[in-house]
């Protein structure tokens, strides 16, 4: 699969994670657009269709990532969405998209914990775009 011309949207209010993810995804050959808040993410969704999106779950609201995922899927149903979050390690809450109810509500294609390795992130992106 070629990565040329593929754009990944990454939205996260954790600047360290945002920059690390950006570097990782660019090293895999993709172009990257970033946003640091739900509001900026919504503006990016309105202005340009990404080939894939990675959203943090908790930003200015506890469900910012879910809201972004819902809005992106409503406008571009074919665009894969990854929710990358540290919510489990921060709160102990465990959730996912492995059941029908969660999948219908979350509107994401993949749920990843933020402590993933760069090769894992690259592999998940390639699977979703493959």
State the pLDDT at residue 2. 55
Q: pLDDT-derived band of residue 3, with 50, 70 and 90 as boundaries?
A: low
Report the alpha-carbon distance of residue 43 to residue 94 in Å, rounded.
30
- How far apart (Å, rounded) are the C-alpha atoms in residues 96 and 83? 10
Tell me the average pLDDT of the chain.
Answer: 85
Amino acid 130: pLDDT: 85
* Residue 93, pLDDT score: 52
pTM: 0.85
- Helix, strand or coil, per DSSP, at residue 102: helix
Spatial CA neighbour of 32 closest among 9, 63, 1: 9
Give the model confidence (pLDDT) of 31-81 as tens digits: 999 999 999 999 999 999 999 999 998 888 878 888 999 999 999 999 999
Domains defined along the chain, listed by start = 7-129 (3.40.50.2300)
Q: How far is CA 19 from CA 11, 25, 59, 69, 115, in A?
A: 11, 10, 16, 20, 14
In sign, the C-alpha dihedral spanning 119, 54, 104, 75 is negative
The residue-averaged pLDDT of 86-104 equals: 50
75 versus 89: which is more confidently predicted? 75
Which pLDDT band, with edges at 50, 70 and 90, does 104 fall under? low
């Amino acid at each position: 699969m070629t990565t040329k011309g593929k754009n990944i949207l990454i939205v996260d209010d954790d600047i360290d994670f945002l920059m690390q993810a950006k570097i990782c995804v660019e090293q895999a050959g993709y172009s990257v657009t970033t946003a640091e808040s739900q509001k900026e993410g919504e503006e990016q969704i309105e202005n340009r269709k990404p080939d894939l999106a990675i959203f943090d779950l908790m930003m200015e609201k506890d469900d910012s990532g879910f809201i972004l995922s819902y809005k992106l899927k409503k406008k571009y149903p074919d665009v894969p969405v990854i929710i990358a979050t540290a919510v489990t390690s921060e709160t102990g809450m465990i959730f996912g998209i492995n059941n029908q109810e969660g999948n219908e509500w979350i509107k994401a294609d993949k749920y990843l914990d933020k402590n993933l390795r760069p090769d894992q992130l690259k592999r998940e992106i390639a699977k979703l775009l493959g």
